[in-house]
Amino acid sequence: MTARIIDGKRIAAELRARVADEAGRARRDHGLTPGLAVVLVGDDPASQVYVRSKHRLTQEAGMASFEHVLPADVAQDELLALIARLNRDPLVHGILVQLPLPKSLNTEAVINAIDPAKDVDGLHPNNAGRLANGFAALSPCTPLGCIILTKSVHASLQGMNAIVIGRSNLVGRPLLQLLLNENATVTIAHSRSRELATLCARADLVYAAVGKAEMVRSDWIKPGATVIDVGINRLVDADGKARLVGDVDFAEVSQVAGAITPVPGGVGPMTVACLLVNTLRAASAIAGLPKPAV
Ligand code: GUN
């Protein structure tokens, strides 16, 4: 058996097109142009690539994009002052501070300084707490994308056994909460979990978000399971050629799974698409408009 490949690139493009439609409607009917501010501190090459793609796709969706690049040695107070300005700026409806921040900065204090209404990353304790309590909240983009990809395979996740491998604030923990809201039965595993293979083997839905190249093997996977690979790892082959791989051994697992996301072209494109969704939702809520249809 060979798994169905979940085409994240196509699903993300469709989602962005729906966001662009709704953003156009907001502009025509209400004079509202949703605006996203992205803050990049330092010159990490991977972060620069992400930020550039966010900038381009935000503009393509008909929204305003504001980029703020600060040096790696910026003072904490200066970064907090920028966030305070963005909190007050009526053209800005979403604020994203690209992570990870340089070690000299206090990430928690920076996240806490963002106005929760503009927190399109869903990382502020106000939003994380609301999500954990099952209330409406801005939710982190990558987990939102994982749920949309899963629903492209299964109309309902109710009663399914899901395992999330990884417990980060950006992915694992919010994904656990979103799956609970979908009435899945959720196990969350991590680096200290025992018998990971056994835990995985009973899962209908497997989410790998640990950052370890090709860690999930085919003998962990229940035949027919849906596998969502959140990992992006750079591997250098024996001949010196670099390639991107996920946390799942794709060649092996795609022989056993029912459906699987590729890397690249799976979860990755969904993250930015969901960021645009969150920016549209935040702008509508701030302007007192009804929840957009996307
Ligand atoms: N770095 C990698 N992914 C993300 C993300 O979704 N949000 C932020 N802020 N930083 C990231």
Q: For the segment 116-142, what is each residue's pLDDT rounded down to a tens digit?
A: 999 999 999 999 999 999 999 999 999
Among 121, 144, 171, 267, the mutation site with the greatest number of ligand 1 atoms within 8 A of its Cβ is: 121
The two structure tokens encoding residue 59: 């503009």
Q: Give the model's confidence band at 237: pLDDT under 50 very low, under 70 low, under 90 confident, else very high.
A: confident
Mean pLDDT of 236-255: 95
- Separation CA 67–CA 65 (nearest Å): 6
Question: 56: Cβ–Cβ under 8 A, 6 or more apart, which residues?
Answer: none
Centroid of ligand 1 to alpha carbon of 121 (angstroms): 8
Q: Which amino acid is at 133?
A: N
Percent of the chain with pLDDT over 70: 100
Going by CA atoms, what residue is nearest to atom 9 of ligand 1?
Answer: 98
Q: Give the model's confidence band at 35: pLDDT under 50 very low, under 70 low, under 90 confident, else very high.
A: very high
Catalytic-residue membership of 115: no
Q: Which phi and psi (to 5°) does residue 249 adopt? A: -75, 95
- The rounded mean pLDDT for the chain is 97
* pTM, full prediction: 0.97
Mean pLDDT of 93-116: 98
Mean pLDDT of 67-89: 98
Going by CA atoms, what residue is nearest to atom 11 of ligand 1?
Answer: 99
Q: Which amino acid is at 80?
A: L
* Ligand 1 atom having least distance to the Cα of 142: 6
State whether the beta carbon of 98 lies less than 6 angstroms from ligand 1.
yes
Mean pLDDT of 132-160: 98
Which tens digit of pLDDT belongs to each residue from 168-222? 999 999 999 999 999 999 999 999 999 999 999 999 999 999 999 999 999 999 9
Residue 55 pLDDT: 97
Q: Give the model's confidence band at 260: pLDDT under 50 very low, under 70 low, under 90 confident, else very high.
A: very high
Could you give the 3-state DSSP secondary structure of residue 263? coil
Please, what sign has the CA dihedral across residues 198, 131, 138, 41?
A: negative
- Separation CA 90–CA 97 (nearest Å): 18
Going by CA atoms, what residue is nearest to atom 3 of ligand 1?
Answer: 99
Structural domains of the chain sorted by starting position, each given as residue range(s) with its CATH number in brackets: 33-115 (3.40.50.10860), 141-269 (3.40.50.720)
Catalytic-residue membership of 21: no
Is pLDDT above 90 for 1? no
State whether the beta carbon of 214 lies less than 6 angstroms from ligand 1.
no
Residue that the structure tokens 């946390």 belong to: 247
State whether the beta carbon of 226 lies less than 6 angstroms from ligand 1.
no
Catalytic-residue membership of 121: yes
Is pLDDT above 80 for 273? yes
